[in-house]
Chains A and B, each alone.
Chain A
Amino acid sequence: MSETAVVEDKQQVAPPEERQAARILKWTSENGIFIFTAVLIVFALIFVDGFSSLINITDVFHRAAPIGIVAVGMTFVVISGNYLDLSVVAQVATAGVILIAVSNSYGIPLAILAALAAASLFALVNGTAVGVFKANAVIVTLSTTFIGLGLLRFFSGGSIFFGPPDGPIRAFGLGKIGPVPYSAVVLIIMTILLSLLLNRTNFGFLVKSFGVNEQATRLGGTNTSLVIIGAFLVTSVAAMVGGFVLAAFSNTAVSNDGVGYEFEALAAIIVGGTSVFGGRGSIYRTFLGVIFVSVLTNILVLFGIGFGYQQVALGVLIVLAVSIDALGRKVSKR
């Protein structure tokens, strides 16, 4: 008799208001990024003069493209549960310098090959250290950043390289379709391709499952080292393309390009809703996260807000976005 009473107690349903609030919170945490982005854009269209001008939309895309390409690639590393790839900074700069410096003397195809070689090297070292040696990704990629930047500065001498003013690289950087610059088109194409890679291929599935449960994936018999190397390779290729796009936009390349990209890309990924714990996430969400951060920065500049306040806004935003996500997950567990 008493047992049934206990069971009944446990099955007592929460009051309707609480259930409603929990449902809303859960829905917000899962779809937050879509809502926030939409709200932000609507806000900008109404209150910010000049936001909707063609030029400004192009500017937002110019902001979003290089960092977005890097971010959608780095999502693979994040989903695999390896926090982030700090060396994207070195990789973006290296790719840009190789593109301009090598193409000036030897033509573009050779430049692309050289850049691919460099990207593969980064991926191999990062991936092997993290996948085979099971070392911590943060420190490994920190060390490859030092090595990469050191090598870049040593070989390039720190000089700034210029592309020819009428060359194909410049033409790519200036080209656009309506208000959408070619670089953004590249971003969109990469988002679609990488999303297919993550969700439709065995490789993508393994990356996700590695992030969810490392042990189980390993026991399942796959060679997880190759999976990790693969995840870093995706990031490296994306960083390379990002470096190309950046160099094309300004038709210059120098070894301190891409400063700050590692944390900005991570912020976009997290704001988009991909979990740092790994396992959950999507490339489309990262894309939205990048758009959101770019639009926000754009709005702040249009309002004439100084750099210090911009940083504060970005930091608060990150914490807010993740808080809602965390609260939503907590609530849904109840």
Chain B
Amino acid sequence: MRKSRVTFAASMLAAAALTLAACGGSDDSSSADAGSEDTAAEETVEETVEETDDGEAAEEEAVDTADGPFEVYALLPQGNDQPYGTTYLPPMEETAAELGINLTITNSEYDADKQASECEVAVAAQPDGIILWPAVADSIRPCLEAANNAGIPVWITNADVNPEDTDLTFGYSGTDSYGQGAASAEMMCEFADGAEIGVIQVNGLTGNSVATLRGNGFKETIAELCPNVTILAEQPGNWNKDESQIAASEMLTSVGPDNVQGIYAADDTMVAGAIDAAAAQGLDVDGLIITSIGNTFLGNPLVESGDLDGTVFQSSSWDGENAVRGIYAAMTGETDLGRDDAGSVLYMPNPKVTAQNYDDPAVAPEW
């Protein structure tokens, strides 16, 4: 037993020595081969790590010049694990390269504790700025305070913090999920035109902040603007087309398909599933009022074909790009702490997309 342990220790040290030696000659982009997961991935990662470190070392000397390369941490709750995040990242990285910013990106997968830990790491790294997309707005204040105490400007993207915390930030760019839900509700009200109708509601992943905000935005706006519309049932579709289809179908069965004149889903992927469900139940999809959010590659064709009556455009590229522009403005002193400056709040418009404007290039789908 002792012998194998010594062997193991020796081989681990040898492996470490080898990887360190490999770091000497870097380059190549990390295209990890599926076949040789072990060594390829390790070596590639080590190489990339070595690269970044060399880059960082060089930057630290130049960081004090006004427009010198900036170090920025982007604390995000999604990335390549979601379609939106996937199309949010490239414009972000492009804009960063353009403005001379080195981005370090994290993905906390909507886990508030993980994001808080990543925030601590970011603050310890003493970057020039932090881009923050809160996983859970209610729990982000300690992170903001820590960044402020360290003198690091924070720019919020996509999902804003609570009103009482805005003074700790340098600005915000993005949409607001509540507003998206409200916009979708406004369209529903418009199309309902005073008639007494029943609708079913398909929500996003339970407990997810975007899902909660959109859901509340829709419900409360309906109650306020057109109480003639009744929400008969609501279930989560978990941002998935298949789960949404089953949930919608079961809701239709539960309340009786004849009682339903409208469907709302929190995003286009789910509404596509709901539409399939309605069709399978024998309902006339054209006759139903169907609204959702996103105007995605899946949703836009549905608006064109008339199945989807209205959706709200959300531009992931605008979002990613302006997150970087925002932090740049904060780092170069164009905007200050708090939301009083002119450029400190950039709202992504929530343009409604209907049969009238679906082919307008301004709202061309991106994700």
**Interface of A with B (CB < 8 Å)?**
49-51, 53, 55-56, 58-59, 62-63, 66, 118, 121, 125, 147, 149, 151, 153-154, 157-160, 162, 246, 249-252, 254-257, 259, 298, 301-304, 307-308
The 3 closest A-B pairs by CB, nearest first: A158-B80, A158-B86, A250-B241
Interface positions of B from 32 to 89, Cβ below 8 Å from A: 32, 34-35, 37, 79-83, 85-87
**B251 is an interface residue with CB less than 8 A from chain A:** yes
Q: Does B356 contact A (CB under 8 A)?
A: no
**Do A255 and B236 have beta carbons less than 8 Å apart?**
no
Size of the B side of the interface (Cβ < 8 Å), in residues, is: 40
Chain B 239-260 near chain A by CB (<8 Å), digits 1 or 0? 1111001110111111010000
Task: Collect the chain B residues with CB atoms within 8 Å of residue A246's CB.
Answer: 242
CA distance A51 to B254 in the complex (A): 8
Q: Inside 8 A of A125's CB, which chain B residues have their CB?
A: 37
- A311: min CB distance to chain B, Å: 9
Contacts of B246 in A (CB 8 A): 59, 62-63
Min CB distance, B222 to chain A, in Å?
18
Q: Are B81 and A158 in contact (CB under 8 A)?
A: yes
Q: Which residues of A contact B250 (CB under 8 A)?
A: 56, 59, 298, 301-302
Contact status of A158 and B280, CB under 8 A, knowing A53-B253, A63-B246, A252-B269: no
| Known contacts A154-B80, A250-B245; 18 further A-B pairs (Cβ under 8 A) | A55-B252, A56-B250, A62-B249, A63-B246, A153-B80, A154-B32, A159-B83, A160-B367, A250-B242, A252-B298, A257-B240, A259-B238, A301-B250, A301-B251, A301-B254, A304-B233, A304-B254, A307-B206
Bound-state Cα–Cα, A120 to B272, Å: 33
Segment 170-219 of B: residues with Cβ below 8 Å from A = 206
- In the bound complex, how far is the Cα of B273 from the Cα of A249, in angstroms? 10
**Interchain CB contact under 8 A, B298 and A162:** yes
Question: In the bound complex, what is the Cα–Cα distance between A160 and B81 (angstroms)?
Answer: 10
Verify A162–B297 contact, CB threshold 8 A. Answer: yes
Distance from A35 Cβ to chain B, minimum over Cβ atoms (Å): 25
B322 → A minimal CB distance (Å): 21
In whole Å, how far is B78's beta carbon from the nearest beta carbon of chain A? 9
Residues B285-334 near A (CB distance < 8 A) = 297-298
Q: Which residue of B lies closest to A56 (CB)?
A: B253
**Nearest Cβ on chain B to A185's Cβ, whole angstroms:** 17
Specify which of B34, B273, B298, B367 lies most central, judged by the most chain A CB atoms within 10 Å of its CB: B34
